[in-house]
Structure 1
Amino acid sequence: MLLAALGLDPKNTRSINDLAKRAEVLPQRLRFYEEQGIEPTNEELQRLAAATGLTELELRLKSGLINRAIIERLSAHAQDVAGILGNSPAINSKVRARANKSLKPAFKNALGTLFQGDCMDIMARLPSESVDMVFADPPFNLDKLYPSEIDDNLRKSHYLQWCEEWLAESIRLLKDGGSLFVWNLPKWNTYLSAYLNRHLNFRHWIAVDIKYSLPMQSKLYPSHYSLLYFVKGPRPTTFHADRLPMEVCPACCADLKDYGGYKDKMNPLGVNLCDVWNDIPPVRHAKYKKRKEANELSIKLLDRVIEMSTNEGDCVFDPFGGSGTTYAVAELKKRKWIGVEVGPVDGIIERMESLDEEAEYLDRLRAGYNHLFLPEMERRRKELGRWTVGNIPKGPSRKRKEPDIGTGTGDQRLLEIES
């Protein structure tokens, strides 16, 4: 938008170079600001405005580079501004018009409904405040080839505008106290969180540690995906996060962390879930993938999110169906669900009609939560004379002999256990 505000055609290199020379701004920086949507420095803005006969305020308004100072000035003259713009509230008429289209499910059962089509078309048909949780895993705009043949290489401004459109509809669909989760690259979620902070209540930025061991040049190696967690209203209607087992040495069963020395305060149900998840595996093996053309999410991730933010009978909505993991987990956990996929849905339907194997896997996952020690580890610790749920260390600092963590042998070392 910067070049358009300056009266320049992005394809006209000569005019860009001419203005850059008059404003004493490097032309490559002008193109960088345009492509990345980044605001030029104050000095550059002033020189660009002067070179085009605009004031800095006019240039900011035309290019959309509005800061808080301008927002405050607009707010102070809201009546005058409304008179200029027209007093009718801004309505996404394009989205509302879509609500008039007929809609037929591609699949439906007792708990869920799956639609095939553009998520904006389907969302416009759904009533406001009708779902308890939204989980969104949109395309990452990485120029990947999807079965739907969607354009996954949009200009940055177009991609973010599209994201804000489906986010706005997601917010409308959420009940008060409902939860919104957005799975994306950290790069994009920095922008989306800024948008969501104006509409919802921020809860967490969850870092999910997933490494693909890809070579990187000139950057830190990216090792996590971002999962944004927002709530509609002051607090979530439902929040019951799973607890995890304590970290122990698999060889000698010794404690790997001292938890600040507060073992006497350990909860028998396990350790609090934190906002860095390093136990979510990527779905790589062809045996487990339900969609070979692109990455898909782990059942473990969706199980944790749905368990945390919903109860049985609540409604889960996912506008980007992909392989159908959200719907499969919601179905197995007895949640109602509404799904949308713009591409082929045969794989999702086939998956929903045969969930026995995934039900067994989910049962195994659930058995690993909400225990301070899993049954086998509890038994082994008792045999080795270590503390267990039945005799959690209590009281002030005291000393106790335990086998060495590093060797796993019977060598003794003195450990200080602080309360």
Structure 2
Amino acid sequence: MTIATPLADERDEFPTVAEAYKTKLGKMYQGTVEDFLDLQGKKLKGKVQLVFFSPPFPLKRKKKYGNKDGDEYLAWLQKLAPRLADLLTEDGSLVVEIGNAWDPGKPTMSLLPLQSLMAIAEGGDLNICQQFVCNNPARLPTPAQWVNIERIRVKDSYTHLWWMSKSERPKASNRNVLQDYSPSMQALLKRGHYNHGTRDSGYDIGETSFLTNNGGAIPSNVFNFSNTVANDAYRRYCREHGLKPHPAPMQAKLADWFIRFLTDKDDLVFDPFGGSNTTGAMAEQLGRRWLAVEPLADYIAGSKGRFEQFRAAGSEVS
């Protein structure tokens, strides 16, 4: 899902926005996010409950999906941020995934990702509700020069996700993302008692404080999601149709988690950098309406494979 808007001198390749396909609950458009907002921004203003996206990371090496760097990247994000913020409902949320960047030719990290966060938050006049970390333990060891060859760094395996909103109290419920209780907690609930009293930390643990079964544990803001499934429906579809899979798709579990946490059924979810359309597929699965926009036809064609599972339910791509 990590797809860039083409550089300014490349936008002539995508002069218009066209509907690429639709499902029961959503639509994928081909075009740039800027062109899409030019055409649809006023219509969608104040109607999107969640803008969820992973913009192109500020890489130094050009990719097929395009990427900017330095001041150009920051200026682009700051200009785009208010247009995305305008789409949000009063209690809507914007969640952006921002990866790390390294200084070219040096074993030192760039401040550009942090500056990017500021560009989005300040450009969109948004509150930062919470920071999340997504660790991918299966990520390849990079940066290769410093990790594999010189062995002077460890692999860079995580990204940050920043939850923002116009409101200080956007719609959210951690009850929608409870995780299974640990075996020890399950045993405690079954046993019905535990060692209560004052702890060394000063906390006074009541006799029944942890005996209520709430249906699961409140999760932390740190995820461990791998993205290495080689034979999922999306990749099988790409192989069968001779399509190259997107090189940096969003983890399905990540999109699923934030959609459940921040939206309700029938809410509208928008991904301005659709890529392989993980966001749209997870929104469809969860009964949310969705919109996505993506400039590259190859990635759009492959993204249809994410909806194969919905054919039997009448949500076939058309």
Q: 2:49 aligns with which of 132, 155, 159?
A: 132
Aligned residue type for 1:231: S
2:66 aligned with 1:151: yes
2:249 aligned with 1:314: no
Cα 1:289–1:113 shift into 2, 3 Å: closer
The CA distance in 2 between the partners of 1:262 and 1:229, in whole Å, is 33
Report if the CA contact (8 A) 2:26-2:284 is conserved: yes
The structure with higher relative contact order (CA 8 Å, sep 6+) is: 2
Q: Classify the secondary structure of the residue corresponding to 1:206.
A: strand
The CA distance in 2 between the partners of 1:287 and 1:131, in whole Å, is 29
Q: Counterpart of 2:5?
A: none
The CA distance in 2 between the partners of 1:358 and 1:298, in whole Å, is 24
Q: 2:257 aligns with which of 280, 304, 325?
A: 304
Cα 1:231–1:262 shift into 2, 3 Å: farther
2:304 aligned with 1:349: yes
The CA distance in 2 between the partners of 1:213 and 1:309, in whole Å, is 31
| 1:89-238 alignment runs, 5 A limit | 103-125=17-39, 126-127=41-42, 128-142=45-59, 149-152=64-67, 154-187=68-101, 188-198=112-122, 199-211=125-137, 212-214=139-141, 216=147, 217-238=151-172
Cα 1:151–1:299 shift into 2, 3 Å: closer
Report if the CA contact (8 A) 1:124-1:169 is conserved: no
Report if the CA contact (8 A) 1:143-1:151 is conserved: no
Report if the CA contact (8 A) 1:238-1:311 is conserved: no
Q: Classify the secondary structure of the residue corresponding to 1:180.
A: strand
| 1:4-403 alignment runs, 5 A limit | 103-125=17-39, 126-127=41-42, 128-142=45-59, 149-152=64-67, 154-187=68-101, 188-198=112-122, 199-211=125-137, 212-214=139-141, 216=147, 217-240=151-174, 241-248=176-183, 264-266=208-210, 267-268=212-213, 269-278=215-224, 280-287=225-232, 290=235, 292-344=245-297, 345-352=300-307, 354-356=308-310
Q: Classify the secondary structure of the residue corresponding to 1:244.
A: coil
Q: Classify the secondary structure of the residue corresponding to 2:163.
A: strand
Identical positions, percent:
24
Aligned length: 251
Report if the CA contact (8 A) 1:189-1:228 is conserved: no
Report if the CA contact (8 A) 1:315-1:337 is conserved: yes
TM norm structure 1? 0.53
1:234 Cα deviation (Å)? 2.2
The CA distance in 1 between the partners of 2:162 and 2:233, in whole Å, is 26
The CA distance in 2 between the partners of 1:306 and 1:191, in whole Å, is 26
The CA distance in 2 between the partners of 1:130 and 1:328, in whole Å, is 20
Report if the CA contact (8 A) 2:255-2:282 is conserved: yes
What whole-Å deviation, never above 9, does each CA across 1:297-351 have from its counterpart, x for those lacking one? 2221111100000011110000111111100011111111110011121112343
The CA distance in 1 between the partners of 2:247 and 2:312, in whole Å, is 20
Cα 1:202–1:184 shift into 2, 3 Å: same
The CA distance in 1 between the partners of 2:23 and 2:118, in whole Å, is 37
What whole-Å deviation, never above 9, does each CA across 1:82-121 have from its counterpart, x for those lacking one? xxxxxxxxxxxx9xxx9xx864311123321111011111
What whole-Å deviation, never above 9, does each CA across 1:168-196 have from its counterpart, x for those lacking one? 22111111111000012145541232234
Q: Classify the secondary structure of the residue corresponding to 1:114.
A: strand
TM norm structure 2? 0.69
The CA distance in 1 between the partners of 2:312 and 2:55, in whole Å, is 23
Report if the CA contact (8 A) 1:283-1:295 is conserved: no
Q: Classify the secondary structure of the residue corresponding to 1:227.
A: strand
**Which 5+ residue runs of structure 2 have no aligned equivalent?**
1-7, 102-111, 189-194, 200-204, 236-243, 314-318
Aligned residue type for 2:131: W
The CA distance in 2 between the partners of 1:312 and 1:129, in whole Å, is 17
What whole-Å deviation, never above 9, does each CA across 1:104-154 have from its counterpart, x for those lacking one? 3111233211110111110222222221110011121335675xx3433x3
Q: Which has the larger radius of gyration?
A: 1
The CA distance in 1 between the partners of 2:206 and 2:277, in whole Å, is 42
Cα 1:190–1:297 shift into 2, 3 Å: same
Cα 1:288–1:105 shift into 2, 3 Å: closer
Cα 1:296–1:182 shift into 2, 3 Å: same
Q: Classify the secondary structure of the residue corresponding to 2:86.
A: helix
